[in-house]
Amino acid sequence: MDPTSGIRKHGFRKWYERQLIECHAALVTCLLCGVTLAALIEVVSLRDFGWRTASIVATMFAAGVLGWYSWRQHAGVRVLRAPPCEPFMHRHTMNGPDNRCG
C-alpha cells in the first residue's frame, strides 16, 4: 500500500504508528538474526559433519536469509518516496520564490 492511500484509509497518526512498529520489528528481527548467526558460527565444527552440524548450518542459513529479508523490509519502510515537487514549484516564501525542488 502506498503512503497516500494508507494515510487516507487510517489517518496520519495510525499510519505513522503502524510504520514505526513495522520498521522497529524488522530492525529487531535483523539484529536478533545477526546475533544468532554470530553465535552459531562460534559453535559450528565442520570437522565432525553429522546431524548436529547439518542442523546448525541449516539454522545459520535460515537466520541469514531471514536477517537479509528483514533488513530489506526495514530499509523499504524507512525510506519512503518523496512526492514530486511540481505542484509546489510556484510556492512563494517571504524571501521570494521557493526553489528548493528545482
Q: Model pTM?
A: 0.65
Start-to-end Cα distance in the chain? 28
Ranges of each domain in the chain? 3-80
> Is-contact 67 33, C-beta < 8 A?
yes
Residue listed under C-alpha cell 530489506: 72
Residue 14's CB is within 10 A of a number of other CB atoms, namely: 12
Kindly give the confidence (pLDDT) of every residue in the chain, 102 residues in length, as a single tens digit, with 9 standing for 90 and above.
677 787 888 788 888 888 889 889 999 999 999 999 999 999 998 888 889 999 999 999 999 999 999 998 888 765 554 455 555 555 555 555 555 554
> Is-contact 26 71, C-beta < 8 A?
yes
Q: What local confidence, expressed as pLDDT, does residue 82 receive?
A: 45
Q: What local confidence, expressed as pLDDT, does residue 57 receive?
A: 93
